[in-house]
Amino acid sequence: MSDQSSQSRRTVHLAVYDTLADWETGHATAHLARHGHPVRTVGLTTAPVTTMGGLRVQPDLALDDLGPEDSALLILPGASAWDEGDGLAPFASAARSFLDAGTPVAAICGATAGLARAGLLDDRDHTSAVSFYLAATGYSGAGRYREADAVTDRGLITAGPTEPVAFAREILALLGVYAGEKLDAWYRLFHDSDATAFAVLEDA
């Protein structure tokens, strides 16, 4: 594999769109970037978007210009827009293409509902904010819903809006940033404020 291809396959893509929930992906993207996974933003177009917190984000590329072969992971944050029509449906379609190609996808909060509507949670264990939130989509995967902070199944990570650290933990594990006691220490430090975990991470 060429250096350029190798770098491309380490790049993580963060979907950005209006009303994006700012708090849900920061732990994941910051620690990915610190450990050799460049993070690029992808929008429906390259027009600027505005997050729920009022931040203006200029996407690095448009969704039509991104293929599974160009990415290590597609992250889909929550957003009010997921529940306000079909405007973000192209991102759910992209998630299907990624998963079919063996490239992982991570969805949190409202993005899980978007994937449920697209049928992507029907045959995978998953979680979300609460079970009845996904049930309202009319999907067929209710039997695979898990009461957990975050779930990984066959390349798809899901989490609810109150679990950004657990969401990041699953992403960091999937991409091999941390494993074993280092992964556990990272989670204890950022989720539980366990100061003893810092020394374990310092040895990483």
Does the model's pTM come out above 0.75? yes
Active-site residue, 109 included = yes
pLDDT in tens, 86-121: 999 999 999 999 999 999 999 999 999 999 999 999
Task: Say if CB 49 and CB 56 are below 8 A apart.
Answer: yes
Contact 133, 113 (CB under 8 A): yes
Per-residue pLDDT, 9: 65
| CA–CA distances in Å: residue 86 to residues 12, 115, 131 | 24, 12, 21
Q: Which residues of 5-27 are buried (b: 16+ CB within 10 A; e: fewer)?
A: eeeeebbbbbbbbbbbbeebbeb
Residue 3 has a pLDDT of: 45
Residue 193 pLDDT > 80: yes
Give the pLDDT band (50/70/90) at residue 1: very low
Phi, psi of 75 (to 5 degrees): -105, 130
Domains in the chain with CATH codes:
3-178 (3.40.50.880)
User: Is the model's pLDDT at 78 over the cut of 90?
Assistant: yes
pLDDT surpassing 50 at residue 4? no
How buried is 64 (Cβ within 10 angstroms: 0-12 exposed, 13-18 middle, 19+ buried)? Answer: exposed
- Contacting residues for 33 by C-beta, under 8 A, at least 6 apart: 39
Query: pLDDT-derived band of residue 199, with 50, 70 and 90 as boundaries?
Result: very high
pLDDT tens profile 14-61: 999 999 999 999 999 999 999 999 999 999 999 999 999 999 999 999
Catalytic-role residue among 88, 94, 109, 116:
109
Tell me the pLDDT tens digit for each residue of 133-161.
999 999 999 999 999 999 999 999 999 99
